Amino acid sequence: MKNKFLALLTTLALPILAFAEDKLDSGDTAWMMVSTAFVLLMTPAGLALFYTGMTRSKNALNTFSMVMGAFVLAFVVWVIAGYSIAFGTSESASIQSFIGGFGNVMLNGIKWTDLSGSYPTYVFIAFQGTFAAITVAIASGSVIGRMKFSTWMVVVALWGILVYAPITHMVWGGDGALLFDAGALDFAGGTVVHMNGGLAGLVLAILVGKRVGYNKVAMKPFSIIFTAVGAALLWFGWYGFNAGSAFGANAIAGLALLTTTIATAAAGLTWILIEWIIYKKPTLLGIASGIVAGLVAITPAAGFVDVSGAFIIGIMGSLFGFFGVVKLKAIFGYDDSLDAFGIHFLAGLWGALAVPFFAIKDNDLLWDGPLKESGDVMGQFMVQVESVLVVGAWTLIGTVIVYFIASALTGGGRVNEESEEIGLDESIHGERGVNL
């Protein structure tokens, strides 16, 4: 009787024992689930409020809808095909350099018991899906107030497949992926997310054209308080973004958490000081902008650099962001409505290029590349330059293609002048975001 009981117990325990053999870690799993929730909060709450506060009251609801609509659609697209393209494998080495395979479309072939390292693959898929969603949502900030909602939603769907997923594969796709094999360092998405989303926003802004009355009539923000609350929520969620990219509750996550906080605080303070010196008035919009610039700048470096490096990256990220918002846009005259390019692209570019100069020379932290293999700082810098050029070119070309396809499918990408004058809240959604 005793032997039969033991045999039965062993049989029942086999699935659990098999799962344990793959080294599931409950602490890592819990942290990655929490990190996923943090990053999810960043888009339909943090980014949506950050953008909505900066837009005009007649477009407030449309702005929130652009961000929230982007999130829900981009996540669905990610599950359907984006994950497979980004992290799947192909039998062709030449194809594998740029995209993964299609074997995991609709998550085919992935079981709920599969692990990615020490936590479930399903958690990894969800975590990466929140990255995909916020990246395209960032681009919405450049075209607020004049793009058709229908065009925008088609852009979101196509862009997630043709632009975001291939770039994610090239940088993070593992052995065989172009920039991963080159040794490009991007801890949590300086190139994949911020350069990508920021540049896409600028391209869309140029293609759709300037807002009616741009630089001729005042376009006052609806609520700076909303923007500041959005920045605070972004900062909170960013711990999932950066510390979560350590893929476990470990020392690297702790490093990323501290460097993220240091860089962000330094960047917010820097923006205040710049405004105080130049304009004699420190603004709430300025500190909110500086916070986001610092978060963006430290993202590609958070798990690689030390405390002093985080200070410098944050300060310089704020300077680059300020230059993009105040000077660069004025020089070239483009209408980047909410400065997605000025902050996300430029601060992300700086952070990506700064990594080799401030990285901790520790093999447990760095990925394979010139810096890890031989301590070659300039060699690693050239790899970083290659990375930003490849990502920039792919984003530029891919976004142009996506826009023209979306525009053709929706009968033009821009609302008519009457709708723009009325405001997109009422003309597109039939609702009012604000009753004034």
Q: List phi, psi (to 5°) of 147.
A: -90, 140
**Range in 3-7, 48-52, 300-304, 401-405 with the lowest mean pLDDT:** 3-7
Q: Alpha-carbon distance 221 to 40, whole Å? A: 25
pLDDT digits (tens, 9 = 90+) for 115-152: 999 999 999 999 999 999 999 999 999 999 999 999 99
User: What b/e string do you get for 196-235 counting C-beta neighbours within 10 Å, with b at 16 or more?
Assistant: bbbbbbbbbbbbbeebeeeeeeebebbbbebbbbbbebbb
DSSP β-ladder status, 119-120 and 115-116: antiparallel
Going 258 to 238 to 398 to 74, the CA torsion angle's sign is positive
Mean pLDDT of 77-98: 90
pLDDT digits (tens, 9 = 90+) for 159-182: 999 999 999 999 999 999 999 999
Q: Alpha-carbon distance 227 to 51, whole Å? A: 6
Taking 50 as the threshold, does the pLDDT of residue 208 lie above it?
Answer: yes
Taking 50 as the threshold, does the pLDDT of residue 9 lie above it?
Answer: no
- Half-sphere exposure at residue 249, Cβ-oriented, CA atoms within 13 angstroms: 12
> How is the chain split into domains, by residue range?
25-90+101-429
Mean pLDDT of 371-400: 96
Mean pLDDT of 379-393: 98
pLDDT digits (tens, 9 = 90+) for 278-308: 999 999 999 999 999 999 999 999 999 999 9
| Torsion angle of C-alpha atoms 224, 230, 234, 236, degrees rounded to 10 | 110
Amino acid at 57: S
Note the pTM of the prediction, 2 decimals.
0.93
Assigned superfamily of 25-90+101-429: Ammonium transporter AmtB like domains (1.10.3430.10)
